[in-house]
Amino acid sequence: MQRIDWIFFGFSFLCGIAAGTVSVMLPQSNTMAVSPYFWVLIAVALFETVVIFMRGFEYGPPLTMRTRVLGFCLAIVTMVVIRLGGGVA
């Protein structure tokens, strides 16, 4: 695996922690127009956009589809575990 993959996994984990914590601390955030699940998706898209800009558009996609899916799943599972631990279903 490339170094960028591990950075992405760490970023995804932190996004899951942040989304889960906000969901527990502010339960009304679950009824907003953009649900916490989409927060994670938006953060993943922003990460890849920043990496593409930093590379200068010269190379192919910085992350493989497998890495994207694993990172997204990691973030969602982390968020759900925090929500369940905090008593938010």
3-state helix, strand, coil in the chain (%, to 5): 80, 0, 20
3-state secondary structure of 84: helix
pLDDT on residue 64: 87
HSE-CB at 12 with a 13 A cutoff on CA atoms is 23
Q: Are 11 and 4 in contact (CB under 8 A)?
A: no
> Taking residues 32-60, what's their average pLDDT?
85
Q: 41 is in which domain, residue-wise?
A: 3-85
- Name the residue type at position 29: S
Distance CA 54, CA 40 (A): 21
The string of pLDDT tens digits covering residues 1-31 is 688 899 999 999 999 999 999 989 988 887 8
Specify the number of domains making up the chain. 1
